[in-house]
A = this chain, B = another copy of it.
Amino acid sequence: MSDTRLTRSLEDLLAPYARRTEQVLQRWLIEPGTPKSLADAMGYCVFGDGKRVRPALVWMAAEAAGDCPEQELTARSAVAVELVHCYSLVHDDLPEMDDDELRRGRPTAHVQFGQAMAVLAGDALLTRAFGVLAEGRNATASRLAMELAAAAGPAGMVAGQVADMGLCPLPHGYEGLEYIHARKTAAMIRAAARMGAISVGADDRTLAAVSDYGESVGTVFQLVDDLLDATGRAETLGKTPGKDRTGGKRTSVSELGLDAARRLAASLTARAAHALAPLGGRGDRLRELAQLLAERTY
Question: Which of A's residues lie within 8 Å of B, judged by CB?
Answer: 30-39, 42, 87, 91, 94, 96-97, 114-117, 119-120, 122-124, 126-128, 130-131, 133-139, 141-146, 148-150, 152-156, 158-159, 161-163, 165, 167-168
B residues in contact with A122, CB < 8 Å = 123
Given known contacts A38-B159, A38-B162, A142-B134, A149 and B128 CB-to-CB distance under 8 angstroms:
yes
Rounded to whole Å, the gap between the CB of A256 and the closest CB of chain B is 24
In the complex, besides A37-B168, A117-B167, A139-B139, 9 extra interface pairs with C-beta distance below 8 angstroms are A30-B154, A31-B154, A33-B155, A33-B156, A38-B154, A97-B116, A127-B158, A131-B153, A142-B142
CA distance A265 to B278 in the complex (A): 65
- B135 and A33 within 8 A (CB): no
Rounded to whole Å, the gap between the CB of A248 and the closest CB of chain B is 17
Given known contacts A32-B155, A162-B35, A96 and B115 CB-to-CB distance under 8 angstroms:
yes
The 9 closest A-B pairs by CB, nearest first: A131-B149, A33-B155, A134-B145, A96-B115, A124-B154, A127-B153, A35-B168, A134-B146, A130-B130
CA distance A139 to B139 in the complex (A): 4
CA distance A139 to B34 in the complex (A): 26
B residues in contact with A91, CB < 8 Å = 119-120, 123
Rounded to whole Å, the gap between the CB of A196 and the closest CB of chain B is 17
- B127 and A154 within 8 A (CB): yes
B residues in contact with A150, CB < 8 Å = 31, 131
- A120 and B36 within 8 A (CB): no
CA distance A142 to B58 in the complex (A): 20
CA distance A128 to B151 in the complex (A): 11
B residues in contact with A94, CB < 8 Å = 119
Rounded to whole Å, the gap between the CB of A66 and the closest CB of chain B is 20
B residues in contact with A114, CB < 8 Å = 96, 167
